[in-house]
């Protein structure tokens, strides 16, 4: 190495600073905002097709309930089975084994709370729960396979960097935001003009080359009830044995209503 005099060192430093300054003044690459929804729709539909092709998935969940209507509750661990297009099963673990086992297929819904030995079984969830197609709703939520109708793309609007679509499904009004990567960011579903429940896709992971929701939070509009879920150990299956969607309810279990089920689940935090 050639030794430098103090003056030479000063000149070298000045030259470096000047070069940095000149580089800073050089024209920068500017990201041009998207002016039409078409490129984003293309990215969205490609990613949606990839997720939809994996119609059977198993996963583990770490979930933390929260909300102003809830006491401080512990986080829970659960196993999830998704079978597209309209079925899921969720088994929530507890210190005592299984705290809650629930499954939905289309409009049928079963939930069993082993510690309380109570169950809710219905073949017509729309009538008894007020939720039509809970199986399809759950599958779409966990897999983020929401499908906006064509008309919704025509009326899409930009909210900052998000492309927001609106449409109606049965009695629900839906708002759906898609990020620049083409992945869903959030969805809101409400009745009429009432603000609706909101699911946010806060983080995504690559599973076998497919973008899949990794962190999902769901909350009601008043913030009374919420759930934040970390989805891990996702495994896609080629096919599903649909018998694995069946929650076995013992003969001696008491059958309860929707409101009683909500109370039984709320009391699980007291176990």
Partner 1 sequence: MTDACAMLIAVMLTAASPARAGRLTSVDPVTHALAERLRATGRAEVQIERLSLDPISGRTVAVRGELVLEPPDRAALEFPATGERVTMRSDGGEWLQPGLRQLVRLGAGDAALASRWWELLVRSSSPGFGARRWGERRYRVIAFARGGLAADSANIMLAADGLPLRLEIEESPGSREMYRFRDWRFARPRGREGFVIRPPRDFEVVRLH
Report the interface residues with partner 1, using CB under 8 A. 58, 62, 64, 71-77, 79-81, 89, 91, 95-98, 101, 112, 114-115, 117, 241, 244, 248-250, 269-271
Closer residue to partner 1 in complex, CB, 161/235:
235
CB atoms within 10 A of CB 134: 23
State the nearest-atom distance from the C-beta of 124 to partner 1, in Å.
24
Closer residue to partner 1 in complex, CB, 73/162:
73
Tokens coding 200: 């946010």
Closer residue to partner 1 in complex, CB, 109/112:
112
**Interatomic CA distance for residues 33 and 206, integer angstroms:** 26
State the nearest-atom distance from the C-beta of 228 to partner 1, in Å.
11
**Interatomic CA distance for residues 87 and 106, integer angstroms:** 6
From the number of C-beta atoms within 10 Å of its C-beta (0-12, 13-18, 19+), residue 13 rates as exposed
State the nearest-atom distance from the C-beta of 198 to partner 1, in Å.
24
162-169 vs 157-159, strand pairing mode: antiparallel
State the nearest-atom distance from the C-beta of 118 to partner 1, in Å.
11
**Interatomic CA distance for residues 33 and 184, integer angstroms:** 18
Closer residue to partner 1 in complex, CB, 61/187:
61
State the nearest-atom distance from the C-beta of 51 to partner 1, in Å.
20
State the nearest-atom distance from the C-beta of 96 to partner 1, in Å.
6
Closer residue to partner 1 in complex, CB, 44/88:
88
150-191-217 Cα angle (round to 5): 80
Closer residue to partner 1 in complex, CB, 35/95:
95
DSSP 157-178: EEETTEEEEEEEETTEEEEEEE
């Amino acid at each position: 190495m050639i030794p430098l005099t103090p003056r030479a060192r000063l000149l070298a430093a000045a030259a470096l600073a000047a070069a940095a300054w000149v580089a800073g003044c050089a024209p920068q690459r500017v990201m041009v905002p998207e002016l039409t929804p078409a490129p984003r729709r293309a990215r969205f539909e490609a990613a949606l097709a990839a997720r939809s092709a994996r119609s059977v998935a198993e996963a583990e969940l770490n979930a933390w309930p929260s909300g102003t209507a809830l006491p401080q509750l512990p986080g829970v661990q659960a196993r999830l089975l998704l079978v597209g297009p309209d079925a899921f099963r969720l088994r929530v673990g507890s210190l005592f084994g299984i705290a809650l086992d629930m499954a939905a297929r289309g409009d049928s819904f079963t939930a069993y709370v082993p510690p309380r030995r109570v169950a809710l079984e219905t073949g017509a969830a729309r009538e008894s729960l007020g939720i039509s197609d809970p199986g399809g709703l759950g599958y779409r939520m966990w897999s983020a396979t929401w499908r906006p109708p064509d008309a919704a793309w025509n009326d899409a609007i930009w909210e900052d960097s998000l492309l927001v679509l609106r449409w109606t499904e049965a009695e629900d009004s839906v708002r759906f935001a898609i990020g620049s990567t083409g992945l869903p960011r959030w969805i809101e579903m409400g009745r009429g003009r009432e603000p609706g429940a909101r699911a946010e896709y806060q983080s995504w992971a690559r599973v076998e080359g497919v973008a899949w929701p990794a962190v999902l939070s769901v909350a009601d509009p008043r913030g009374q009830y919420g759930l934040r879920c970390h989805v891990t150990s996702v495994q896609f299956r080629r096919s599903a044995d649909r018998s694995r969607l069946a929650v076995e309810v013992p003969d001696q279990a008491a059958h309860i209503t929707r409101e009683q089920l909500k109370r039984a689940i709320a009391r699980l935090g007291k176990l």
